[in-house]
Amino acid sequence: MHVFRKFIVWFVFISFAASTAALAKPTVLFVNPSIINEPFWLKTEMITQAAAADLDIQLDIVYGGGNRLIQFDEVRRYLQYQKKPDYVIFMNYPGGAKPMMSLLEEYKVPFITLENNILDEERTQVGLPGENFTYWLGEIFYDHQQAGKLLASDLIRQYQKHHTESATVIGLSGHHGQESLARNQGLLESVAQSEAVSLGQIVYASWSEQLAYQNTLKLLKRYPKTAMIWSASDLMGYGAIRASKELGLIVNKDVFIGGFDWLNPSLEKIIQGEMSASVGGHFMMGAWALISIADHMQGIPYWSHSKSKQLIFELELVNQDNVASLLPLMKQNQNAWIDFDFRQFSLQNQAKAGYQFSVEKIVSNLKPSNTSLAK
């Protein structure tokens, strides 16, 4: 009888453990490459969390602190002391790709990278997804050269709508990585196609509003015919706006200023005429990665069959002409996305061969009641 009772207890324990394991959600580690509450990555993180809830995925988050060494240490610490995640999503920092990927290979964790920040020699070392790193499923990024050109061309268009004389454009870039270089190239391409506009200078401001402010003050004095300021981020654009106002320039009259990221204050500034344009949509990339992971777990072979193992999208422009239509996207908290079903973008039970991620589709599916800017 005693043996029988022990058997019953053992059977119940094993059954409970098995059922608990079956109910456990898959875990994805999302590596936010920045610091806590940095505006762009905070928005990206919150939307990724909303997608995780829809997809029934446990999303763990660590922060890279804006530095490749800090990011590597944080991921290594997580892998050492936490249960191994099923997948990892992260953005490579220049110079940090090989160590990070080698670490994930060591732990045998499949991963997807965001953005395309790997430069020439480093790209040769790591190759493309699946070549030198078996667990590298794919990479998701945006056509930043097209985006840089899109922003520059719109600033030039807005300037020429109000002025006929030739003028100078100056550029505020981020850091020495592939993303910034591609955006810069788009600016150069747009200027080369315009006879009335010349490039003064492109300087690096390390994504810093304060450094952008200081650099803009110097550049406006160095290039007095400056009428357009192209910024590789909205935050740096805010610094340029502050510097311009300090020197007595009126935005959208004397100088036209645009950036990247679609931050909420940017939309407000565009509405109020304090900023000319912003390019964005890339805060959705964490959600896109999660959707592809959910499909991968269900055996949908997108990453396996994709020849390049890359998902490349185009960023979109917002200015005073279309800002009202994009207000549903400008939400500060995860609850704002509660009515949106990210599962509609999955390839499960659909005949589509590829993903149809678009801002237009997102906006059309958000409820009208969610159309005011969050403060």
pLDDT exceeds cutoff 60 at 4? no
Class of domain 145-280: alpha beta
| Entry pTM | 0.83
DSSP state at residue 325:
G
pLDDT exceeds cutoff 80 at 161? yes
The Cα 10–Cα 312 span in angstroms is 52
Note the pLDDT of residue 303: 84
pLDDT in tens, 181-197: 999 999 999 999 998 89
Domain 21-142+282-370 has CATH 3.40.50.300: no
pLDDT in tens, 8-63: 444 444 444 444 444 589 999 999 999 999 989 998 999 999 999 999 999 999 99
Q: Where are the domains of the chain?
A: 21-142+282-370, 145-280
The Cα 93–Cα 287 span in angstroms is 20
Q: Could you tell me the two tokens for 15?
A: 């059954």
Higher pLDDT: 117 or 174? It is 174
Cβ burial 151-175 (10 Å sphere, 16+ → b, else e): bbbbbbebbbeeeeeebbbbbbbbb
The Cα 194–Cα 205 span in angstroms is 25
Give, for 176, the enclosing helix (H) or strand (E). Answer: none
Note the pLDDT of residue 357: 83
Query: Band of the pLDDT at 367, cuts 50, 70, 90?
Result: low
Across the chain, which distance is largest between two alpha carbons, in Å? 99
Asked, colleague to colleague, whether 21-142+282-370 and 145-280 share their fold, the answer is yes
Closest CA to 332 of 81, 39, 91: 39
Angle at 292 between CA 23 and CA 353, to 5 degrees: 125
pLDDT in tens, 237-280: 999 999 999 999 999 999 999 999 999 899 999 999 999 999 99
Judge whether 169 and 229 are in contact, CB under 8 Å: yes
pLDDT exceeds cutoff 60 at 332? no
Which percentage of the chain shows pLDDT scores above 70? 88
The Cα 272–Cα 324 span in angstroms is 12
Note the pLDDT of residue 82: 96
Q: Could you tell me the two tokens for 349?
A: 């039970």
Judge whether 336 and 375 are in contact, CB under 8 Å: no
DSSP state at residue 1:
-
pLDDT exceeds cutoff 70 at 368? no
pLDDT exceeds cutoff 70 at 92? yes
pLDDT exceeds cutoff 90 at 330? no
The Cα 253–Cα 226 span in angstroms is 12
Burial class (CB in 10 A: 0-12, 13-18, 19+), 223: middle
